[in-house]
A = this chain, B = another copy of it.
């Protein structure tokens, strides 16, 4: 990407179900869109299995490389939920009951229902700060620059208002698009010339086809709104030339 980034981040999706193809990952798109509005650019996303050594090594690589890392998945009650323990190991911290999380879960479940699996959801790396689940059940947490979120998209969504208060944010990343009703291979050269003149804007070209034929959506991204609008006008003039 071309424009200068104030804040960078990576998303680490943890879960065999994505790598087996069973589940389409929707968290990356959702989190990335929301981060863009906060001026935090997503530079990389990874999907790794529920495997401790892989989670630890990926996390240690990403948390040093980017200002923020957002993980999703693997913080539930079952044997395949190993994210919290892996995060603790990645940071070299103790993995034990977080008192506040334990109290929340104790209140949420009836006494006879507060079994080992449910208690496990209160175990976190030492020093973890909670991110509450609006429905009162298991909270997520963050440690340093790593935000450990649930895998269920609606749970992630419910935590956004809190995350907004925690994250140090930058200038909103603006994204404007226009529909060129021509094949992208027709406009490739002209588009490249425009991109060269707007070095701090990312111009993306995305071909599509539908019943009316072929077309291309052009997307301009950056933080300088005036420049993006100027760039868009140039693109529109260029498109007109091909639609005559």
B29 touches A24 (CB 8 A): yes
Docked Cα-Cα span, A120 to B46, in Å, equals: 30
Chain B residue contacts of A207, Cβ below 8 A: 76, 152
Stretch of A12-20, A139-147, A164-172, A226-234 with 4 or more beta carbons under 8 angstroms from chain B: A12-20
Selected contact of A221 from candidates B20, B118, B221, CB within 8 Å: B20
Docked Cα-Cα span, A17 to B121, in Å, equals: 34
How many whole Å from A2's CB to the nearest CB in chain B? 9
Total contacting residues, chain A, CB less than 8 A:
66
A48 within 8 A of B: yes
B16 touches A21 (CB 8 A): no
Docked Cα-Cα span, A173 to B16, in Å, equals: 13
A24 touches B24 (CB 8 A): yes
A184 within 8 A of B: yes
A30 touches B19 (CB 8 A): no
A195 within 8 A of B: yes
